[in-house]
Structure 1
Amino acid sequence: MIAAKHLETLSRDLTKLYEVRDTADVVIEIGNPSAKKAYKAHGIILSVRSEYFKSRLKDNEANNGKQTIRLDDFDEGDFEVLLKYIYTGILPPLADTSPTKLLELLLSSQTLRLPDLCSYFQERLVTDHDEWIRDNFISTQQLAFTNSEFAILQNRCISLIIQTPKKFLSADDFPHLSKIALVRLLQLDDLSLSEVRIWDYTLRWCIAQTSLPSDVSTWSEKDYDVLKSVLEDFIPYIRFFHISSTDFSNRRGLFEKLLPNKMYEEVLQYHTKPQQENGEKVLQRRRNRVNQDNNRHRQKAIANADSVINKDSSTVPKVLSPVAPPSLDATLLTPSLSAWISGCIDHWKIPSSSLSQAYSFSLLLRGSREGFSTDVFHSVCDNKGPTVVISQVSETGELVGGYNPIDWLSTPVITYAITQEAFLFSLQRDNVKNAILSRVKAKATAICYNSARGPVFGNYNAPDLMMQSNQYPKRWFCSQGSYSLPIRGECGAFSVNEYEVYRVFKHGEKSEI
């Protein structure tokens, strides 16, 4: 591993190369032809750092040993920021940067295929400008769902709708919601609306995408066919069998005209002959959200947690209840939690705090004691073997964390470690009976290494759990992708007031720290 001081030397040398550029072999022209500005750069550095430039330079033919690339739609200031980052990995201070400028930088980063910056600018938007996102929700979500690399922004937009679905879905600008965002909403198990209201809102959105007359009584068969063509992509996500028989009866004529014939007959039979079996056709009933306060716990994850732990068990845990945050004088890893984690490591069918545990836990780092910076994490926790990370959410006292069965490492570039044995968890303090367990589903991106971040579980661009940068050491982030379940009810950034890292070793082993 390269020593930190050597990396600093490398960074200084690359900065000199950026500042001088006497040996540059590429000219990049920014702006329109009448007011363009030319930048010199080195093709080898552009190609290594940006897939966009790699592709462009490969396609362009050299002209006297030099190549020219035009970027007509780029802002000069934005390009200078990104070009310096390409050379040096350094960004200017962005604390006072407006959200609209961050969006511009995000789009420019995506154009140049700089995934690290795409994630970074999204994090800044979600962390620093959440109120702005709320105030400019429609335009923000329309942009977010234009590209799969904007997963962090997408997840935040979805979570905002989930918090107050009636507010967003009843709004005048709801028909401007992107199609992908609406599909994502309809797929959720914990969307806290009755199924008939979900159908009504979806129908309203679909009608708004057409030029049909507002008076339904004037519609012809051709008009209904137009609406059916818009509606068909959403039909698989509406849970018609969970619309009450009364609501179904009140809309029966509309259902008959808009649903595929076979589906209509099946739903009709379900409501008129409920004694007949339709088990294979019925989607799971959505779970009404509870405690719609700042905790926003997931009923979905709670209801599915038992099936993840033990597919043969019929026990379904109850919903987590918010409790007062514990005193920071107490250790986050209680005896019952350590026993439960031991059971998860050994794949007990039903991990329990009452069973004897095969593992011991030795405290390596405590945020309030050693510090919350990513540098401290790597200096204390790298190359220590299996570890458990536990953080305490400031707003709720909730504990979220994860188990890494291999070493943590500090790498200058994003690197992944393959493992099937890692897992994430969340619970209210010492309430292991209702803990949520999320195991690996994409082992190739289970653990992520990067010197600029602390512990990262999952894909760097949409991490399932991540400690953010030195600039915001108490800001963490969660999403859902590489692991089976989200560990919080709301994806996105959250604050912690404590975190701890423990080395895990079997009883009888020596804990050499």
Structure 2
Amino acid sequence: MPSKFLAELSNDFKQLFETEIGYDVIIYAGETPNVKEIHAHSNILCIRSQYFHTAFSNKWAKKINGKFILKKPNIMPHIIEIIIRFIYCGNIELKNLQVEDMLKLLLAADELNIQQLSSYIQEYLIENNADFLRQNPSEILEIIFHERNAFEILCDFCVERICAEPKNWFNSDKFLSLKPSLLELLLKSTDLKMNEIEIWEKILNWCFAEQKVENDPTKWSKDDEEKIKESLKRFIPLIRFYDIEPEDFFYRVYNFKKILPQDLIHDLLEFHVVPNQKPKSDVLPSRFSKLGSSLLNSKVIPLFASWIDRKDPSYNYENLPYDFKLLHKSNQNFNNGFNATSFHRDCDNKGATIWIAKIQDSTQLIGGYNPLDWNGNCGSKSTDDSFLFNFTDITNITTARLGYVSTSIGAVYCKNNQGPSMGNLYCSNSNNWIYGVNGDCYPQLGISANITVEDVEVFQVIKRQ
């Protein structure tokens, strides 16, 4: 019954808008010669939009003969009419609109401060026009980037698409004309799946194109050097120079030393030449590709670090206390699946580790943290700091369930013929593992009693100095 009343109410407001009874607002939408006059009611507009409330209460909307006058030349008539109908009726139909019109509608909804509509349009675009967005992520980012906080949902989607397949975008003709602020946004991402040396060379090419100079330092004038330095300056802190291999650094970075900060060049030379030398300055976390994982999105890394330290609120990328180094990787295409011997060969005597395993034919990911080690062939080991976790959908980190050890004896189990067994989780020398649902060493996390894993990865947890 309530839904019937709401439908009738919506229809009554629709009739009020269409019949224009008692209207006191005139909106002139569009540019000459395509201006259209739209009539509305100020009370309804005010209660549904802060933009209109401010316009009418602060009197910056002119009032002539008892009617408010608003001019919106930057919004096309059919776009603002869709928005006004939404304000009156509370519903909207997008399926017959082209993507270009939906983007115009999105920008207009933001300008008129109708957040509910803005969020809905973004979600609708992602759900129903994902192919178009995947093919044109940079063009869409160019449109919405200036208000990326307002369009966070859509902006994040486009950035993720570019980061997932960056070479298509970096190699396109449009890349060289990209706005520097947008390029900066992408370089900040730890999910950019490219080798750092390739990223460095693409940034150089962008700078050369912007300053119209050749990619040949021997032909640069002093003025050329200064111009390139200025273009490059904002990107230098975002490039993971310490992740570039020594040979690539020498042949593909060092020869551009004249346009790089000299203290950075000195630190990099020392890092590559002096044995066991660590970076002297704070460095950004390695990107997704450098992590080497086929299973993890880098967004999970701060979460792991926070679980280890039992920290709430969570760490972010800027204050991570740990590095995660891939030690072991096995999947169903190698050695007939999981192999305990190779697991111990790669992971014994490496100290604290986090392991993850993907459940076959699903997006479920389980794993655990062992703060000790995996060596010894000694059976159970005791700790109060271990934990197990379960992502029911690894593409959505909010599905994570975490369980710290409740019985320290037997928290970790080390045997040469087993994998990362922990408490009531038995990891056999195969892809078929068993989880004791009645065990009490760890809380129940929704892991099935019999599980088949198809990918396993183990990361060494290294405390940052």
Fold-level similarity (TM above 0.5):
yes
Q: Distance in 2 between matches of 1:209 and 1:316?
A: 46
Identify unmatched segments of 5+ residues in structure 2: 311-321, 323-350, 369-383, 402-444, 457-465
Q: Displacement, 1:33?
A: 4.4
Residue 49 of structure 1: aligned partner: 48
Q: State the identity as a percent.
A: 26
Q: Distance in 1 between matches of 2:214 and 2:248?
A: 24
1:305-454 paired onto structure 2 within 5 Å: 305-311=303-309, 315-321=352-358, 323-325=360-362, 350-352=386-388, 401=399
SS in 1 for 2:39: strand
Residue 379 of structure 2: aligned partner: none
Distance 1:319 1:202, change over 3 A: farther
Contact 2:137 2:162 (C-alpha < 8 Å) held by counterparts: no
Counterpart residue type for residue 272 of structure 2? H
Distance 1:234 1:432, change over 3 A: farther
Contact 2:360 2:452 (C-alpha < 8 Å) held by counterparts: no
RMSD: 4.0
Q: Distance in 1 between matches of 2:2 and 2:300?
A: 44
Residue 425 of structure 2: aligned partner: none
Q: Distance in 1 between matches of 2:128 and 2:110?
A: 20
| TM-score, normalised relative to structure 2 | 0.65
Residue 109 of structure 1: aligned partner: 109
Counterpart residue type for residue 122 of structure 2? Q
CA offset digits 1:469-498 (Å, max 9, x no partner): xxxxxxxxxxxxxxxxxxxxxxxxxxxxxx
Residue 130 of structure 2: aligned partner: 130
Distance 1:266 1:120, change over 3 A: same
Counterpart residue type for residue 145 of structure 1? F
SS in 2 for 1:22: coil
Q: Distance in 2 between matches of 1:170 and 1:427?
A: 44
Contact 1:25 1:41 (C-alpha < 8 Å) held by counterparts: yes
Q: Distance in 1 between matches of 2:13 and 2:386?
A: 54
Q: Distance in 2 between matches of 1:244 and 1:102?
A: 45
Q: Distance in 2 between matches of 1:5 and 1:391?
A: 38
Q: Displacement, 1:391?
A: 6.9
Q: Distance in 2 between matches of 1:262 and 1:291?
A: 30
Q: Displacement, 1:307?
A: 1.3
Q: Distance in 1 between matches of 2:146 and 2:201?
A: 26
Q: Which stretch of structure 1 is more off in the superposition, 44-53 or 228-237?
A: 44-53
SS in 2 for 1:204: helix
RCO higher in structure (CA 8 A, sep ≥6): 1
CA offset digits 1:257-300 (Å, max 9, x no partner): 122232222222222324444354333333427899xxx74342
Larger radius of gyration: 2
1:247-262 paired onto structure 2 within 5 Å: 247-251=248-252, 253-262=254-263
Q: Displacement, 1:86?
A: 1.0
Contact 2:109 2:115 (C-alpha < 8 Å) held by counterparts: yes
Residue 168 of structure 1: aligned partner: 169
Counterpart residue type for residue 118 of structure 1? S
Q: Distance in 2 between matches of 1:353 and 1:283?
A: 27
Residue 230 of structure 2: aligned partner: 229
Residue 65 of structure 2: aligned partner: 64
Q: Distance in 2 between matches of 1:69 and 1:242?
A: 55
Contact 1:137 1:157 (C-alpha < 8 Å) held by counterparts: yes
| TM-score, normalised relative to structure 1 | 0.59
Residue 39 of structure 1: aligned partner: 38
Distance 1:324 1:260, change over 3 A: same
Distance 1:124 1:246, change over 3 A: same
Q: Displacement, 1:3?
A: 5.4
1:240 and 2:277 matched: no
Q: Distance in 1 between matches of 2:185 and 2:446?
A: 26
Contact 1:158 1:181 (C-alpha < 8 Å) held by counterparts: no
Counterpart residue type for residue 168 of structure 2? K
Q: Distance in 1 between matches of 2:61 and 2:245?
A: 62
Contact 2:45 2:52 (C-alpha < 8 Å) held by counterparts: yes
Counterpart residue type for residue 324 of structure 1? D
Q: Distance in 1 between matches of 2:276 and 2:23?
A: 77
Contact 2:29 2:74 (C-alpha < 8 Å) held by counterparts: yes
Residue 152 of structure 2: aligned partner: 151
Contact 2:176 2:206 (C-alpha < 8 Å) held by counterparts: yes
